[in-house]
């Protein structure tokens, strides 16, 4: 349906850095937003979200088929547009040196990180706005970035005359704790 | 007293006997639809549905009896006349009929069941480039849809609720001129709710002529209409002139808040036969706090002035909870009030609607009202059953 829109979401990061690996804690909220004509909007979410890391970067992943919008047929169309079978995962990769964690004695930090968003097998730069808050154990995150599905080689979604704007946004809220 | 009660009963009957419009499902916010323009030719909803809207009727409105695998699509059940007629892209059209029976019980009337044909409309929209021409035409027994009547004889009224020319200036802005529903409050199906009748903003017969601009982009939606009056009323002194408008903001995918405002002046008000200035200003909300539940609410300040006298203040409101038990079956409870000089009337609605087949639904309402009179509140009870079918 309409939307088929697509996408994704993923997000951000975590601290692992020199402090070792981190795990997700509690419920993560991964959402995306797309607009159509005359105020029409599609909002989707994913219940699946994972974090991994390389020596240089944090990698945040969402399975395309885990992204849903509340209407099954629209989800089906969305997954088809994104060619989920060929490109099952969207990822956001952020170099660790782009992230600023709450300093010792500080509760919060925030910044803009330059990352790479991969969707539909195509990498594009992503400017990720993030904020972190130190919890009793671990760090809670809020992060957001914009992307354009057309730039990732995805056909502009159109269903029965309703076209979805390929300029979309994603947001993530999650908490990370040090791995035991 | 008896005279007043009889008048009340006649008024209630009249409200029931007039046609009601179809397809204005504000509870779609439960499915993430905070705006209406993608599904309806009228960007604020109600009336003719687009091809996209037809598909949604199959996708998330009716009860699915069939297996819906990954290859399922709405198919011909969503098409005009079930696909029997192929329409060109520049034309969308639809036909709808709504009928049933009602029982009204008031202190001044003997309860009786009477049949009702509420709606028998044809609608179409022709699009050429950025220009759209929309029209509806219906036929009902003489005495029905008087405000929208274009022709009549001894037995039949031919009426047109809506007819307008529009230009899609951009994908976000449409400007229309003609007869259309006023932008005000939530566009609900319950056209005889006090929030609609006291503001004269229902989608049944309160359409007026004028120029309208609708803008929707991102989380914002706004619509304003300069009202030239109902040109199907004559003499011209009956016609109200003024404005009506609303602005709404979506706070996330399942919460919309908005404000509405209306001011009209008539030399000879059709109800009071006085020079009358009417104002209504209020707030509306549509939300779905949990899956399956839609909350529709609105409250309005009413300001009324006749023949230059000091304005009298009143208020009205409506709050409804609609729960979708399973796809296609809705139960709803609503409360309403109307505060006027004579006192405060209170009402409660219980409704069940089942979209059990393509383009077909069955609805039952029970409406209990405590109507304010100068001698206190007078109760009324109404049971209404209706079958609605469209092509």
* pLDDT for B7: 44
**Residue B149: its pLDDT value, please?**
86
pLDDT tens track for B307-358: 989 999 999 999 999 999 999 999 999 999 999 999 999 999 999 999 999 9
Residues of B in contact with A73 (CB under 8 A): 59, 68, 72-74
For B254, which residue in chain A has the nearest alpha carbon?
Answer: A43
pLDDT at residue A1 greater than cutoff 50: no
Collect all residues with Cβ–Cβ distance below 8 Å to B229 and sequence separation of at least 6: B208, B209, B210, B236, B238, B239, B240, B241, B266
The rounded distance, in Å, linking the Cα atoms of A38 and B39 is: 11
Q: Which of A117-131, B98-112, B233-247 has the least mean pLDDT? A: B98-112
- For residue B69, pLDDT beyond 90: no
Give the residue among B254, B309, B260, B278 at the shortest CA–CA distance from B33. Answer: B254
Q: Name the nearest CA neighbour of B44 among B32, B54, B34, B52.
A: B34
| Residue A13 in this model has a pLDDT that exceeds 60 | no
Q: Is the ipTM of this complex over 0.95?
A: no
Helix H or strand E encompassing B196: helix B194-197
**pLDDT attached to residue B23:** 60
Q: What pTM value is reported for the model?
A: 0.85
Residue for token digits 């204005």?
B24
Strand arrangement of the beta sheet that strand A122-134 belongs to? A50-53, A57-63, A89-95, A108-119, A122-134, A139-148, A167-178, A22-35, A41-46, A67-68
C-alpha–C-alpha distance, residues B20 and B161, integer Å: 11
Nearest CA in chain A to B89: A161
pLDDT value at residue B19: 40
Q: What is the pLDDT of residues A91-106, one digit of tens each?
A: 999 999 999 989 888 8
Asked whether the beta carbons of residue B37 and residue A37 sit closer than 8 angstroms, the reply is yes
pLDDT at residue A33, rounded to an integer:
94
Domain boundaries, chain A: 3-178
Label residue B176 exposed, middle or buried (CB < 10 Å: 0-12, 13-18, 19+).
buried
pLDDT for res B21: 42
Query: B2-67+76-84+96-118+170-390, what's its fold?
Result: Porin (2.40.160)
A59 contacts A51 by C-beta, under 8 angstroms = yes
- Decide if B219 and A1 are in contact by the 8 Å CB cutoff: no
CA–CA gap between residue A112 and residue B85 (Å, rounded): 56
| Cβ neighbours of residue B197 closer than 8 Å, sequence gap 6 or more | B15, B191
CA distance B277 to B261: 14
A85 touches chain B (CB under 8 A): no
Q: Cα Rg for chain A, rounded, in angstroms?
A: 16
**10 Å Cβ neighbour count for A108?**
12
For residue B237, give the 3-state DSSP assignment: helix
Cβ–Cβ pairs < 8 A, chains A and B? 81
pLDDT tens digits, A44-98: 999 899 988 888 999 999 999 999 998 989 999 999 999 999 999 999 999 999 9
Residue B317 has what pLDDT?
98
DSSP state, A38? G
Contact A2 B38 (CB under 8 A): yes
- A157 vs B: CB within 8 A: no
Return the pLDDT at A167: 96
Could you give the CA distance from residue B283 to residue B186 in angstroms, rounded to a whole number?
9
The average pLDDT across B373-377 equals 91
B35 to A159: CB separation less than 8 angstroms, yes or no: no
d(CA A85, nearest CA chain B) in Å = 13
Residue B244 and residue B183: Cα distance in Å, rounded?
6
d(CA A106, CA A100): 12
**Which residue does chain A place closest to B30, by CA atoms?**
A70
How far apart (Å, rounded) are the C-alpha atoms in residues A64 and A59?
15
pLDDT of res. A144 = 97
d(CA B301, nearest CA chain A) in Å: 27
Closest-CA residue to B225 (of B249, B204, B200):
B200
Q: What is the reported pLDDT for A16?
A: 36
Those of residues 121-150 in A touching chain B at CB distance below 8 A are none
**Is residue B368 predicted with pLDDT exceeding 90?**
yes
Contact B59 A43 (CB under 8 A): no
Would you list the domain boundaries of chain B?
A: 2-67+76-84+96-118+170-390
* Best of B41, B253, B292 to mutate (most A CBs within 10 Å, chain A): B253
Residue B301, burial from CB neighbour count under 10 angstroms (0-12, 13-18, 19+): middle
A20-45 per-position pLDDT tens digit: 577 888 889 999 999 988 888 899 99
Residue B252's Cβ-count burial label (10 Å; 0-12, 13-18, 19+) is middle
Residue A6's pLDDT is 39
Q: Which residues of B touch A (CB under 8 A)?
A: 31-32, 34-35, 37-38, 43, 50-52, 54-56, 59-60, 68, 70, 72-74, 171-172, 174, 214, 216-221, 250, 252-253
| SS3 category, B208 | strand
Q: What is the pLDDT of residue A12?
A: 34
Q: Indicate yes or no: CB of B171 within 8 angstroms of CB of A37.
A: yes
pLDDT at B178 over 60: yes
Tokens matching residue B57: 């009727």
H or E element at residue B368: strand B360-373
Q: Give me the mean pLDDT over the B189-212 stretch.
A: 95
For B237-293, write each residue's pLDDT tens digit.
Answer: 999 999 999 999 999 889 999 999 999 999 999 989 999 999 999 999 999 999 999
Instruction: Write down the H helix ranges in chain A.
Output: 72-81
Local confidence band at A137 (pLDDT 50, 70, 90 cut-offs): confident
Which residues of chain B have a CB within 8 Å of the CB of A35?
Answer: 217-218
Note the pLDDT of residue B205.
Answer: 86
Give Cβ neighbours of residue B204 (< 8 Å, ≥ 6 apart): B18, B19, B20, B21, B161, B191, B192
What is the pLDDT, as a whole number, of residue A130? Answer: 96
What does the DSSP 8-state code read for residue A164? P
Task: Give the pLDDT confidence score for residue A121 in this predicted structure.
Answer: 96
pLDDT in tens, B20-60: 444 679 999 988 898 898 899 999 999 999 999 999 999 99
Rounded Cα–Cα distance for residues B315 and A28 (Å) = 44
User: What average pLDDT does chain B have?
Assistant: 91
Judged on CB neighbours under 10 Å (0-12, 13-18, 19+), B290 is exposed
Alpha-carbon distance of B230 to B232, in angstroms, equals 5
Whether chain B has a CB inside 8 Å of the CB on A1: the answer is yes
Rounded Cα distance between A176 and A13, Å, is: 9
Task: Mark yes or no for CB contact B59/A40 under 8 Å.
Answer: no
What topology is assigned to A3-178 in CATH? Lipocalin (2.40.128)
- The residues, ordered by sequence, that sit 6+ positions from B79 with a Cβ below 8 Å of its Cβ are B54
Of all residues in chain B, the one with the smallest CA distance to A72 is B59
């Amino acid at each position: 349906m309409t939307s088929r829109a697509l996408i994704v979401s993923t997000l951000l990061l975590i601290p692992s850095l020199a402090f070792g690996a981190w795990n997700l804690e509690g419920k993560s909220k991964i959402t995306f937003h797309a607009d159509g004509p005359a105020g029409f909007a599609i909002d989707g979410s994913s219940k699946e979200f994972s974090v991994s890391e390389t020596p240089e970067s944090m990698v945040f992943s969402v399975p395309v088929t885990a992204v849903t919008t509340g209407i099954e047929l629209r989800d089906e169309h969305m997954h088809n547009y994104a060619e989920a079978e060929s490109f099952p995962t969207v990822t956001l990769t952020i170099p660790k040196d782009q992230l600023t964690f709450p300093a010792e004695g500080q509760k919060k930090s925030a910044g803009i990180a330059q990352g790479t968003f991969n969707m539909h097998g195509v990498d594009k730069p992503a400017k990720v706005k993030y904020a972190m808050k130190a919890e009793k154990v671990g760090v809670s995150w809020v992060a957001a970035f914009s992307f354009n599905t057309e730039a990732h080689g995805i056909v502009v979604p159109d269903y029965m005359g309703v076209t979805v704007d390929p300029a979309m946004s994603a947001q993530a809220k999650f908490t990370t704790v040090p791995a035991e | 007293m008896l005279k007043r009660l009889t008048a009340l009963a006649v008024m209630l009957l009249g409200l029931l006997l007039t046609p009601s419009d179809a397809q204005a499902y504000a509870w779609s916010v439960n499915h993430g639809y905070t705006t209406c323009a993608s599904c309806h030719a009228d960007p604020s909803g109600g009336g003719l549905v687009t091809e996209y809207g037809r598909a949604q009727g199959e996708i998330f409105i009716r009860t699915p009896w069939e297996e819906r695998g990954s290859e399922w699509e709405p198919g011909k059940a969503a098409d005009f006349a079930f696909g029997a007629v192929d329409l060109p892209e520049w034309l969308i059209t639809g036909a709808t009929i709504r009928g049933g029976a009602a029982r009204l019980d008031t202190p001044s009337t003997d309860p009786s069941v009477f049949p009702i044909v509420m709606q028998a409309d044809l609608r179409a929209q022709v699009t050429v480039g950025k220009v759209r021409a929309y029209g509806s035409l219906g036929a009902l027994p003489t005495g029905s849809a008087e405000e929208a009547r274009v022709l009549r004889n001894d037995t039949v009224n031919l009426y047109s609720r809506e007819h307008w020319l529009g230009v899609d200036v951009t994908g976000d802005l449409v400007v229309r001129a003609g007869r259309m529903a006023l932008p005000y409050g939530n566009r609900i199906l319950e056209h005889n709710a006090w929030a609609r009748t006291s503001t004269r903003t229902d989608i049944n017969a309160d359409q007026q002529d004028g120029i309208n601009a609708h803008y929707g982009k991102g989380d914002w939606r706004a619509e304003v209409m300069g009202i030239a009056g109902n040109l199907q009323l004559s003499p011209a002194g009956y016609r109200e002139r003024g404005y009506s408008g609303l602005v709404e903001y979506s706070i996330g995918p399942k919460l919309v808040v908005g404000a509405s405002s209306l001011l009209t002046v008539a030399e000879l008000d059709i109800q009071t036969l006085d020079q009358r200035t009417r104002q209504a200003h209020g707030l509306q909300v549509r939300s779905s706090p949990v899956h399956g539940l839609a909350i529709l609410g609105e409250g309005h300040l009413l300001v009324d002035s006749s023949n230059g006298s000091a304005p009298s203040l009143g208020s009205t409101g409506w709050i409804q909870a609609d729960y979708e038990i399973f796809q296609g079956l809705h139960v709803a409870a609503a409360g309403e009030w109307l505060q006027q000089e004579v006192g405060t009337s209170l009402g409660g609605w219980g409704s069940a609607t089942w979209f059990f087949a393509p383009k077909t639904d069955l609805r039952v309402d029970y409406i209990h009202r405590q109507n304010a009179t100068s001698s206190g509140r007078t109760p009324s009870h109404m049971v209404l059953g209706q079958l609605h079918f469209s092509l």
